[in-house]
Amino acid sequence: MKIVLLSRNPRLYSTKRLIEAGEQRGHEMLVLDHMKCVLVIEQGRPHIFYHGKEVIGVGSVIPRIGASATFYGSAVVRQFEMMKIFTAVESQALMRSRDKLRSLQLLARAGLGMPKTSFAYSSNDMDNIINQVGGAPVVIKLLEGTQGIGVILAETHKVASAVIEGFLSLEANILVQEFIKEAKGADIRAFIVDGQVVGAMKRQGAEGEFRSNLHRGGKATLIKLTAEEKATAIKAAKKLGLGIAGVDMLQSARGPLIMEVNSSPGLEGIEGATGVDIAGKIIEYVERNEFQ
């Protein structure tokens, strides 16, 4: 099978591992930079060109779309779908997961736990925005932020008010969330492939850092999920329609709380912490679903 891997950087760990896992299983792996794909839309024959050549003979597609390329990347994925080619992450699910507000609304409607969250366009009702999530300290997040960028812990009501007012004055979209003290700067990532948890790790923030992102110095270790944590992660991925997902959760006194569901989760941290061939699990998922 020819498997297209949509990735902007073939040197990334996740990209290299997927190429390696696919080739070990006898597949032809083709890396395409989705931002350089040309989409041709015509009646009855949607197709794609890359460096002037038509992309043909593809069995399946594995999207690795970064947050900054969501709009065009999802259009490329959708074009492959129109060509009746299986995509490991569907275009609609990709768009849904990247809209943090919409995804939280969908997960809340499904009855899944999450930190209490406020969202507002105006700072006129500042006290209510903060008090509705339990008061300071609060976590303030840019909707467009990734890898912990644009996430601020405001320790006091005064600081929270100033940060929120500053962001809103710049017309930035933000979420204000309750601070889960008992998480102690750690979170859990459950890696989902085809409706199953194939690996899980606990990420602990660096000393003095409340964010647990590995890009910010956090450390990852193997963790055995509780039945509730496993069920929560699987349900979250399903509700957003994601065949591949990294579900980030906080451990709290009231059970697992979902922070985010990532549609292009990295492989380096999870494979290093668990020793599981996650890339191989993704290739096996693709093999099971190739359109005939």
Q: Which of 72-81, 122-131, 154-163, 267-276 has the lowest mean pLDDT?
A: 122-131
* Predicted pLDDT at 138: 95
Band (208; pLDDT cuts 50, 70, 90): low
Name residues whose C-beta falls within 8 Å of residue 55's C-beta, 6 or more positions apart in sequence. Answer: 4, 32, 37, 47, 48, 49
Q: Is the pTM of this model over 0.85?
A: yes
* Predicted pLDDT at 120: 86
Cα 207 from chain centre: 25
* Predicted pLDDT at 150: 81
pLDDT in tens, 129-154: 999 999 999 999 988 766 567 889 99
Separation between Cα atoms, residue 161 and residue 172, nearest integer Å:
15
* Predicted pLDDT at 145: 60
Q: Is the pLDDT of residue 62 over 70?
A: yes
* Predicted pLDDT at 139: 94
Q: Is the pLDDT of residue 6 over 90?
A: yes
Of residues 42 and 76, the one with the higher pLDDT is 76
Taking Cα atoms as reference points, which of 191, 186, 265, 264 lies closest to residue 233?
Answer: 191
Q: Is the pLDDT of residue 246 over 70?
A: yes
* Predicted pLDDT at 170: 87
* Predicted pLDDT at 292: 42
Name residues whose C-beta falls within 8 Å of residue 52's C-beta, 6 or more positions apart in sequence. Answer: none
Question: What share of the chain in percent tops pLDDT 70?
Answer: 94
> What domains lie within the chain, and their CATH numbers?
2-89+284-289 (3.40.50.20), 117-179 (3.30.1490.20), 182-263 (3.30.470.20)
Q: How many residues does the chain have?
A: 292
Q: Is the pLDDT of residue 264 over 80?
A: yes
